[in-house]
Structure 1
Amino acid sequence: MLTKYRALLCAVDCGSLTKATESMHCTQSALSRMILDLESLWGFQLLIRSKSGVRPTPDCLKILPLLRRICAENELVRDTVMDIRGVLCGTVRIGVFSSIATFWLPHVIARFGKAHPDIEFEILMGDYSEIEDWVAETRVDFGFAALPVSKRVKALPLHEDELLAILPETHALADREKVSVADLAKEPMIMLEKGGLSTFSVDM
């Protein structure tokens, strides 16, 4: 039954049966069968399927926290047993945005994996607000975001990145070596988020 719970949680977290099968290392028919078994057992629909993927039904949302707790407790039992045996193991869930997932995290995980080969990693991709929500809800063990963050979570600065403005060659500010935030205050900007590109203006 735990495998079926994990299948449902994975489908919800991935938002796609195809992506969930990759994470679960099973066929899509097997994953669909497990979810259908739960729907038959409980007597209500769990997922809403569409061309864009899957999302939980209102009834499913009510039961998800309980399933997460059951799976977490099972992992805790496993980890405790392995700890008694002197073996470091478990699953670390990390919330990341695209640049961290691409350029930084793979090297860190690779180094850590050599020292602790029995530790598994589960990576959830999202934007800053989603990652903060996941940390606050303990859906992930930790996440990467840009400061400042809300008081719901604790933040530890890890890296100070350079902020760059990318401008067309014909833009009035393009010939400057440095551009201040005040210079950009009334300029339209494009920000990459999970759902795609959104345009907004910065107000000072």
Structure 2
Amino acid sequence: MTITKFRAFLATVECGSFTEAAKRLYYTQSAVSRMVSDLESQWGVALLNRKKTGLTLTPAGAALLPYIRQICSDEMRLNGVLQDMTGLKQGVVRLGTVTAVANEWLPIVLKKLMQEAPGIEYEVLIGNGDVIDDWLKEDRIDVGLFTPKRDGNLNAELLHLDEFRVIFPKEHPLSKYKKIPLRVLQDYPYILHGASWCKELENRLKHGKQRIPVRYTTVGATSIVNLVKAGIGVSILPELLLENDKAKVESRPLDPPLYRKLFVVTHGTPTMPAVKVFLERLPALLKKRAKQR
């Protein structure tokens, strides 16, 4: 069946190898390779360059990929409509999110959802905002959980205000504050998170014309927390990124407070029943999680 071959080709491109595509599709490696070869023979064009260093798209493969992806997405939506009509609790929800959400929210949320509807499967991809944005527009995922750029082609609903916290070593002079003004941080070496996930903080620093001395720039909340714990400097991180390491350091909110805005984002109106259930249940499950903390 051609749609099966389309899925094999799409999975191979997304996974980067026949072996990984076979694991995703529950086929053998040879079966996936053969289905892609069948498409190439049928159409008379090479879709993939097969080299020892890996697989890459040929010009023909790159040109045909968007159409094949659209056909596979339409087939999933068709199945979703049929499931909705027949009341079947099955389907796939494809999620794209940032590391903090994947680590702190999804294990609890997905566990509960899978108990309620065990027939629904979940695929989770982790990336930064730009990558997740692309995944949505390419129809690689159904839902994004992140901070998007302004884009009229995406539907974004505010899901969570993630408060920024100033972090510093225990018994540090900053511990006398209940809330910390940015100007106070000018007196201490600062460890900057190199990710571009928060324009709000960047804008606050520019607007206030702060001259905070940056001693280190790195990416990774745990690395920053460990540097702060060692007395290298102070930093500012969203509360969600501190979940696993907050006992290592002290933290205070900013004065005035500042938040990273996390959204649930879709490209168009979701039609798949499994996706609609996920979107409907997510806010309530997150509220329940917050109360249990």
Aligned mates of 1:81, 1:153 — CA distance in 2:
26
The residue number in structure 1 matching 2:219 is 191
Change (3 A) 1:75 1:147: closer
- Find the counterpart in structure 2 of residue 145 from structure 1: 146
Using CA pairs below 8 Å that are at least 6 residues apart, which structure has the higher relative contact order? 2
Who is 1:196 aligned against?
Answer: none
What's the CA shift string for 1:98-153, capped at 9, x where partnerless?
33333321321221122222222222332210101122333321112235544442
Structure 2: state its 5+ residue gaps.
187-204, 221-293
Contact 1:21 1:28 in 2 (8 A): yes
Q: Unaligned stretches of 5+ in structure 1?
A: 193-204
How many Å separate the matches in 2 of 1:145 and 1:162?
Answer: 15
Report the AA paired with residue 62 of structure 1.
A
RMSD: 3.0
* Deviation (angstroms), 1:176: 5.4
More deviation in 12-21 or 148-157? Answer: 148-157
In structure 1, C-alpha distance between the alignment counterparts of 2:52 and 2:81, rounded to whole Å: 42
Task: Give the share of equivalent positions with the same residue, in percent.
Answer: 35
Kindly provide the amino acid, as one letter, of the partner of residue 160 in structure 1. L
Aligned letter for 2:120? Answer: I
Q: What's 1:82 paired with?
A: 83
* Alignment check: 8 A CA contact 1:132 1:145 kept: no
The AA in structure 2 aligned to 1:45 is A
Amino acid in structure 2 at the alignment position of 1:106: P
Q: Return the TM-score normalized by structure 2.
A: 0.54
Q: What's the secondary structure of 1:84's corresponding residue?
A: helix
What's the counterpart of residue 97 of structure 2?
96
Structure 1: distance between partners of 2:165 and 2:50: 40
Aligned partner of residue 55 in structure 1, secondary structure? strand
Distance 1:40 1:15 in 2: 21
Deviation at 1:82, TM superposition (A): 2.4
Distance 1:49-1:189 versus aligned 2 partners, 3 A rule: farther
Alignment of 1:23-62 (within 5 A): 23-50=24-51, 53-62=54-63
CA distance in 2, matches of 1:38, 1:12: 14
Q: Shift of the alpha carbon at 1:175?
A: 7.2
Whether 1:155 aligns to 2:183 is no
**2 CA distance for matches of 1:87 and 1:37?**
33
Deviations 1:10-59 (A, max 9, x none): 11122233332221122222211211221222222212345664332221
Aligned to 1:105: 106
Match for residue 68 of structure 1?
A: 69
Partner deviation per Cα, 1:68-87 (whole Å, 9 max, x = no partner): 22222322332222222222
Matched AA of 2:158: P
Q: Does 1:11 align with 2:6?
A: no
Assess, with a 3 A threshold, how the Cα gap between structure 1 residues 184 and 156 changes in structure 2: closer, same or farther: farther
Partners of 1:80 and 1:90 lie apart in 2 by 11
CA 1:140/1:147 → structure 2, altered by over 3 Å: closer, same or farther?
Answer: closer
Q: Which amino acid in the other structure matches residue 116 of structure 2?
A: A
Residue 78 and residue 99 in structure 1: after superposition, are their counterparts in 2 closer, same or farther (change >3 A)?
A: same
Aligned equivalents of 1:175 and 1:50: distance in 2? Answer: 58
